Structure 1
Amino acid sequence: MNRTLENRFYYLDNFVTVVESIRARYRHLLNSEEQAFVDGFGALPQSSAALLVRMVMRKGELFRLGKLRYDEIGCTESAAAPLVQAGWISQQPLVDIEQLFSVLTKVEIAAAFPLLRHSKATRKSEQLAFLREAGAARDVGDDNARMRSLADWWPDAGDSLLQLSGPIAALCDRLRLMFFGNLYQDWSEFVLSELGIFKYEQLDLSPATQAFSRRQDLDDYLHLHACRERFLGGEAPHAVVADIADYPYPNAWLEERRSKLLFQIARHHERNGELAQALRLYAASSRPGARLRAIRVLERCGQLAVAFELAQQAELQAESEAEQQQLLRVMPRLRRALGYPKLPKPSAVSVVQHEIALPRPGPGMSVETALSQHLAHADAPALYVENALINSLFGLLFWDAVFAPVPGAFFHPFQSAPADLHSADFRMRRARQFEDGFALLHDGGYRETILRNFRIKENIQSPFVFWDAIDDDLLAMALDCLPPLHLEKCFERILQDIKSNRSGLPDLIQFWPAEKRYQMIEVKGPGDRLQDNQIRWLDYFASHAIPVAVYYVQWTGENA
């Protein structure tokens, strides 16, 4: 039987793993109160420690005692006593009306407030509004500041409350951040691993690779996270922006998060027509795309000369191929609006195109599958691989580079990708490992490395390898038919912009194994158009003599 299912305290063991990891790696970043918690937690009775973890893993800080019933813990009141003594939870805390509503059902609220019999309110918010409008000051308090115990609010409750200490809840979030390196992963990661649903690479988590070196970095991350939650929760954007640092963080990882949040708020302003605020925030953000959005906003504001000047700067030092592509559309428009002479269009590379009519396939068959079946022959299979093949070959060849023990890349044993995967210096920080991988393409050793990693790393989570989409036969044909020079060109482009260039690859690949050649094929069904990232890949292939074609499919007997 699975160990997770056998061990009723598996969640406690997982929490202990986190606490012990923090003690070993980051004790120097904890203040005295936090050190007292990680030291004292291990001394708790098992039932008390388990109850605390159950509360931490549930939503909110208030809990009905009657709903905290777990067979492995036993008597909740007894388990809670050491936690109350330590000051980590409160028993029978005083709560205001909104907190009360958060722990009672609508039926219970109606029982606690007989006045609601005269109301047609069905939602909690409507019930609360009715009580306030009815002037039930002695019940709810006009200023919503009256605090009572559950028994005082509702004498017939037959239950009491436990409240997780605010500082303890905040500390557990901090511990989760230190362990996972983010706040979107949670304790379920352990369960998924224990159940064998996911397999992870064995990572080097030695002190030399630890991600956090300063407590301030943790404080800044938590502050940015709180700002983001406030913005997403609907708080006025100007109030949130006022609490975001108006200078770049020296920590590139944190600065990326700050810039992303500023970009999101700028987009909010732009959509609402608040263009001056949007411009100010785009200028303060270094997130890719912020400069191009600023150019577009300047256009909308009629500041064409300023937009043109900024676009010229972007042309001289474009941040990405995507920005270059967009500038080719923006600049002619700005030139025309400003009365500047029209410049000759750069010569476009030629991509082979075919128009083909096929019988409409049956329900459930995609246009890509229909074309692959039409093109395929016994000696020339055509396979639907899209982004899977090239990315998988990349991930298998550069496995050691991707999972290199670079400081700040890996926080915990359940990471499928390094934290800095999309950072501008991702390749530079692993320069030696990537050089070794490219050297294998030159000396012929790449094939053995790819096949070995395919065998020994099977089903281990990776940001590049599509385990379900590749097999021995596909790899063998690909390694026979794709020249190492073509692989090198593809891999170089992926590394130029990992976030953008992992997608947009052609849908199909057709092999001629006897001739050791291949062709990539982008498929467009009726009414479908090439997307920008697909166009960039097609242009790149054509400029490097990599065989590629676009097939525009129509169904026989139907108008184009």
Structure 2
Amino acid sequence: ISILGRPVNRTVGMKSRFYGYDGCSCTVEELALQHYAKEEYGQWVGVHSENGIWNTLFGILMWDVLFADVPDVFRTPFQTAPLDLDTDAFYPARRDLIEVHLLAIQEGNAQDMIAHCWAEREGTLCRGVNWERHSLSELQVIAACIGGDGLAAVCRLLAEDHVAWSGGMPDLLLWRERKLAPEKGEGTLPGNANGGNAHGSHAPDYDAKFGKGNGEEGVSPTQRNRERDITLREAKLVEVKGPRDRLSEQQMAWIDALVSAGLDVEVCKVVESIEDADVSN
């Protein structure tokens, strides 16, 4: 999509700034956030974080993987990540544990996993995790809006090749919750329905903890709530470009990977004149 903006400056080599909907100077990313927040464009809630929020989600969801008892990856109690995180040895050394976590995420347990880690580890330093930017409840909502399949796909990429995928994510992560009026007799929601060191190193049994059985026994609180839910949760990732910006190869790789994972991805171009592109406002 394209957004027609009123430029504050047109100086080549300087970061583009525009007048926002409130009349104040802002970046192209801030202008895009204001655009998507408007009722006519979806009333999305969002953040400009690029990889930031994804690194936080990865660190929290994969905590027991990151701090698993693997030989020679923790030399001091002050490390915030294992020494092999950015190497091709990380995934093979933890393959089974990683796959257990990814399956739990894919099956819709992310909210419970976030709550468990938050209760046990909040404030503990971990590379990539920002405990202060988002509350527990907000992270749980974001995870539910992204959905299990998409969240598991991103975590897989970061686990398999962390250094290659640690940058280049779309600028904005948007999410929204919309109340639905279910048809008589229906209670499930359509579409994306939620889907040995100082940090601790035990491997949780997610089948036992969150359950895969029938009925109420062995079923997580998240699953029980989802069965009564009438809220549609959605997420969108947006790469924002100014008038003279182009997509990098890393950004294109991320867009391709995210689309392949079934996530909603857009490129938003902020233009200075209506002749530059078809505009949406």
Preserved CA contact (<8 Å) 2:106 2:151: no
Matched, 1:369 2:30: yes
Secondary structure of 1:413's aligned partner: coil
Higher relative contact order (CA 8 A, sep 6+): 2
Structure with bigger strand share is 2
SS at match of 1:423: coil
Q: Deviations over 1:255-294 (max 9, x none)?
A: xxxxxxxxxxxxxxxxxxxxxxxxxxxxxxxxxxxxxxxx
Which of 271, 276, 281 pairs up with 1:554? Answer: 271
Of the candidates 65, 82, 87, which is equivalent to residue 418 of structure 1? Answer: 82
Residue in structure 2 matching 1:518, options 229, 232, 235: 235
Q: Give the counterpart letter for 2:133 in structure 1.
A: A
1:534: how far off? Answer: 0.8
Report how far residue 409 of structure 1 moved. 0.5
Q: Secondary structure at the match of 1:518?
A: strand
Could you report, residue by residue, the CA deviation over 1:49-105 in whole angstroms, capped at 9, with x for unpaired residues?
Answer: xxxxxxxxxxxxxxxxxxxxxxxxxxxxxxxxxxxxxxxxxxxxxxxxxxxxxxxxx
> 2:4·2:273 contact (CA, 8 Å) conserved in 1?
yes
Is 2:70 the counterpart of 1:406? yes
Give the one of 501, 504, 512 matched to 2:168. 504
Paired residues for 1:470-481 under 5 Å: 470-481=134-145
TM-score by length of 2: 0.67
Paired position in structure 2 for 1:357? 4
How many residue pairs were aligned?
207
1:435 paired residue number: 99
Structure (1 or 2) with the greater helix fraction: 1
The residue type equivalent to 2:2 in the other structure is E
8 Å CA contact 1:388–1:470 kept in 2: the answer is: no
**Higher gyration radius (CA):** 1
Q: CA deviation at 1:506?
A: 0.8
> How far, CA to CA, are the matches of 1:452 and 1:433 in structure 2?
17
Per the alignment, in what secondary structure is the counterpart of residue 26 of structure 2? coil
User: Matches of residues 70-219 of structure 1 in structure 2 within 5 Å?
Assistant: none
1:387 to partner: Cα distance = 0.8
Contact 1:386 1:508 in 2 (8 A): yes
For residues 458-489 of structure 1, what are the alpha-carbon distances to aligned partners after superposition, in whole Å with 9 as ceiling and x for unaligned?
A: 23221231334322343132122111011111
Q: SS in structure 2 opposite 1:422?
A: coil
> Which residue does the alignment assign to 1:397?
61
Instruction: Extract unaligned runs of 5+ from structure 2.
Output: 7-17, 179-231
Which of 241, 249, 265 aligns to 1:532? It is 249
8 Å contact 2:60–2:129 — kept in the other structure? yes
Mapped partners of 2:246, 2:24: distance in 1: 22
Cα distance change of structure 1 residues 502 and 399 upon mapping to structure 2, 3 Å threshold: same
Shift of 1:431: 2.0
SS in 2 for 1:365: strand
| Alignment check: 8 A CA contact 1:480 1:513 kept | no
Q: Which amino acid aligns with 1:371?
A: A
Alignment identity in percent?
29
Counterpart in the other structure of 1:55: none
Residue 512 of structure 1 deviates from its aligned partner by 2.4
Which residue among 446, 459, 464 is the counterpart of 2:110? 446
Matched residues in 2 for 1:374 and 1:503: separation? Answer: 25
Question: How far did 1:454 drift?
Answer: 2.6
Kindly report the root-mean-square deviation, in angstroms, between the aligned alpha carbons of the 2 structures. Answer: 2.3
Of residues 261, 271, 276, the one that matches 1:544 is 261
Aligned equivalents of 2:102, 2:274: Cα separation in 1: 50
Give the counterpart letter for 1:370 in structure 2. L
Kept in 1: contact 2:87–2:161 (CA 8 A): no
CA contact (8 A) 2:143 2:151 kept: no
1:322-371 CA distances to partner (integer Å, 9 max, x unpaired)?
xxxxxxxxxxxxxxxxxxxxxxxxxxxxxxxx122123227762210111
> 2:70, 2:93 within 8 Å by CA — same for their partners in 1?
yes
Q: Which amino acid in the other structure matches residue 164 of structure 2? A: S
What amino acid maps onto 2:256 in structure 1? Answer: D
Which whole-Å deviations, capped at 9, do the CAs of 1:174-217 have from their partners, x for residues lacking one?
Answer: xxxxxxxxxxxxxxxxxxxxxxxxxxxxxxxxxxxxxxxxxxxx
Give the aligned residue type for 1:486: G
Q: CA deviation at 1:434?
A: 1.1
Question: Could you tell me which amino acid in structure 2 is paired with residue 368 of structure 1?
Answer: E
Give the aligned partner of residue 456 of structure 1.
120
Is contact 1:403-1:418 (8 Å) kept? Answer: yes
In structure 2, give the amino acid aligned to 1:470.
H
Unaligned stretches of 5+ in structure 1?
1-353
Residues 526, 443 of structure 1: CA spacing in aligned structure 2 closer, same or farther, 3 A cutoff? Answer: closer
Q: Distance in 2 between matches of 1:376 and 1:458?
A: 30
Matches of 2:234 and 2:271 in 1, distance apart? 27
